[in-house]
Amino acid sequence: MARFIPFDEISAILRSGEFTAFLGGLEDDHLECKSAPYDLTQEHGKMELAKDVSALANADGGIILIGLRTEREPQQLGDIIRRVGAFARNRLDFAQYQNVLSEWVLPAIPGLRFDWYANSANRDEGIGSILVPHEANRERPYVVAKVVSNAGRIIGSYVGFFERLRENVAPMKPSDLRDRLKDGRRFSELDSRLGNIEEMIGKLTVAQVPRPPAFSAEIVFKRVQRARRELGYEDRPAFSLAAWPLQPIDFPDLFESHDVPVVRLLEQPPHLRPMGFDFAPRRLSTIVEGQLRRSIIPESKILEIWRDGPLICVVPGDDWHLCWAMHSTPESGLRINNLALAETVYLFCDWSLRAYANAVPTPERFKIRIMLSGMNVNGIPFALNPHRPNVFNLAGDWRTAPDAAGGHFEIEVESARADPGVMAYGLLQDVYTWFGFNASEMPYVNREARPARIDPAQIG
């Protein structure tokens, strides 16, 4: 069973030398695993070290364990520790590690700690660690910078910014880096003040907001397209989910503070299990144009609540979410991970019901639509099979979509009698039928219940 490993437990395992206790652990925001020491004889190895360490320092700190191999598996949205690869102590030169970081990362990261831990079964072998203390974030941002020279002449330079988000380290886009450099750290103290101003304006405008008209699917779809642009998935495979009321409603507390229930729900939406296929950004939200609140991890997930009613979520439709660990190739096209599909749809249905419980009035009826967009590789249609994903059945019974571009699926919900499992079943039944499967072949279903429903117990 995959699990998060708290830092105290990581420290205890390292001290004990019983490294097999790491097996089944999940990489996360604060834990990075490397199967072997960094190759510091090559520039790309030095870059990899600088990237990994600075990314943790730009987040909230963490630890890099050297000697643990991870694998990507279809049941979890994250890499799982599967092997211990202990090695001889002389393969690590921590003085060289420190020199590389001093040369490549600006400013110097304070409090870095390099350690070696011997294996309890063989004291001649062990694993290494690089601890990036939480306190290092006081000096962020940390930039990876390198001047490239040849024979004494400067021929180029590299500047990059990295921040760890869950188990991933992605480079910041140049435009985003420019914005941060332009604004500078001297404006950071304004964040709380701006937040207070936003909340004050929100309170002042509660009574002034007119009731919105009922929505059409076209209006909501334009907002979904905008969310895809904000996420960076306008021209990439995307999985979008939207809900909208069939009567005028309002979220009167949406702009008041981060502590009101509807905003907490935006910033911490429900999930079923650690590292599951949820859509929780777990980031503070921002007010956008006085119309909506948005929580976003760029190129990972975006979640929006609009003051006038619509709820929007977009996650990657490719191997970074919907097709995770499905061995998609240019020849096979994208292959949907049906666990990711079922879990994400169920959670959005659940989240929608909870969100609309905070609306005034609570909508009597609303619609939910899920959208598969741009889901092709070189024109090859994406595919689905009805088998629970594991390493043994990735090759069986795939059926391609009738439209390589994607498809939209929609249900209408009566709030008073709504159940997230029944809602998810209705949406997914249409998806499977579209691919040419009978509803009886759909996994994660409790068919003994009446009506049938997606069963979260079978997902978690």
Is residue 421 very low, low, confident or very high in pLDDT (cuts 50, 70, 90)?
very high
User: Do 111 and 35 reside in the same domain of the chain?
Assistant: yes
Mean confidence (pLDDT) of the chain: 86
* pLDDT tens by residue, 68-88: 999 988 888 788 999 999 999
Q: The domain containing residue 400 runs over which residues?
A: 208-459
User: Do 220 and 156 reside in the same domain of the chain?
Assistant: no
Q: Which residues of 305-333 are buried (b: 16+ CB within 10 A; e: fewer)?
A: bbbbbbbbbbbbbbbbbbbbbbebeeebb
Domain annotation covers residue 286 = yes
User: Do 249 and 151 reside in the same domain of the chain?
Assistant: no
Q: Which residues of 23-44 are buried (b: 16+ CB within 10 A; e: fewer)?
A: eebbbbbbbbbbeebbeeeeee
Domain annotation covers residue 1 = no
pLDDT of residue 191: 45
Tell me, what amino acid is at 392? F
User: Do 400 and 358 reside in the same domain of the chain?
Assistant: yes
Residues in the chain: 460
pLDDT of residue 161: 77
User: Do 219 and 277 reside in the same domain of the chain?
Assistant: yes
* pLDDT tens by residue, 238-251: 999 999 999 999 99
User: Do 251 and 354 reside in the same domain of the chain?
Assistant: yes
pLDDT of residue 424: 98
Domain annotation covers residue 301 = yes
Is residue 189 very low, low, confident or very high in pLDDT (cuts 50, 70, 90)?
very low
Does the pLDDT value for residue 211 go beyond 60?
no
The CA distance from 100 to 376, in Å, is: 42
User: Do 182 and 214 reside in the same domain of the chain?
Assistant: no
User: For the residues 153-173, what does the mean pLDDT come to?
Assistant: 58
Dihedral (CA of 28, 34, 39, 44) sign: negative
User: Do 171 and 215 reside in the same domain of the chain?
Assistant: no
Domain annotation covers residue 98 = yes
User: Do 160 and 60 reside in the same domain of the chain?
Assistant: yes
Domain annotation covers residue 191 = no
* pLDDT tens by residue, 122-148: 999 999 999 999 899 888 789 888 765
Query: Tell me, what CATH number does 124's domain have?
Result: 3.30.950.30
**C-beta neighbour count of 379 within 10 angstroms:** 8
Domain annotation covers residue 196 = no
Domain annotation covers residue 446 = yes
* pLDDT tens by residue, 345-396: 999 999 999 999 999 999 999 999 999 999 988 888 999 999 988 644 555 7
Q: Structural domain tally of the chain?
A: 2
User: Do 174 and 274 reside in the same domain of the chain?
Assistant: no
